[in-house]
Amino acid sequence: MKNLPQTDDSLVVRTDFSNAAAWDAIRSAIDEPAGEFKAYVEWISDPGYDGLTPEQLRPFAPAGSGINYLFIVDQITITHPEHPVLVLDLSAEPGRTFRVVPSALADVENNLSIANMEFADFADSVEPDGIFRGFSQS
């Protein structure tokens, strides 16, 4: 299996190939600008990654690339009604995860990619079900 590519964009890695229509819907939802935010991502849809867990996927991140996190479209993402994407920390707390709905992914991606916020800022702000849906406006 090959390493994930080095890129200036954030990586969204597909690890579940059970539902092409759901994959397409998730991609469309992430590509849709969310207010002032647009996610800058590179889509990785390689069947070689099918079924890999976050821990199994971690070693394929390019070494020394500055990639500090991965977005993973796994079985839960595909089957859950809100399609929450798994976010995997590769740097500060390697292996720590949280989920983000596609409509809030651009906020996470933009802030993590420029180090404006830390992984923990989002992971510590998930709702009780472990999903980040955006910061409360109250």
What domains sit in the chain, N to C, each tagged with a CATH number?
A: 10-132 (3.40.50.800)
Q: Is 66 a residue whose pLDDT tops 90?
A: no
What's the confidence (pLDDT) of residue 65?
66
Q: pLDDT averaged over the chain?
A: 93
37 or 112, higher pLDDT: 112
pLDDT digits (tens, 9 = 90+) for 12-29: 999 999 999 999 999 999
Residue that is written with structure tokens 């070693």 in the block: 59
pTM of the model: 0.94
- Reported as a pLDDT band with limits 50, 70 and 90, residue 36 is confident
What's the confidence (pLDDT) of residue 34?
80
Tokens of 32: 């849709």
pLDDT digits (tens, 9 = 90+) for 82-125: 999 999 999 999 999 999 999 999 999 999 999 999 999 999 99
For residue 49, the number of C-alpha atoms closer than 13 Å in the C-beta half-sphere is: 24
What's the confidence (pLDDT) of residue 138?
43
Bridge partners (DSSP) listed for residue 72:
13, 86
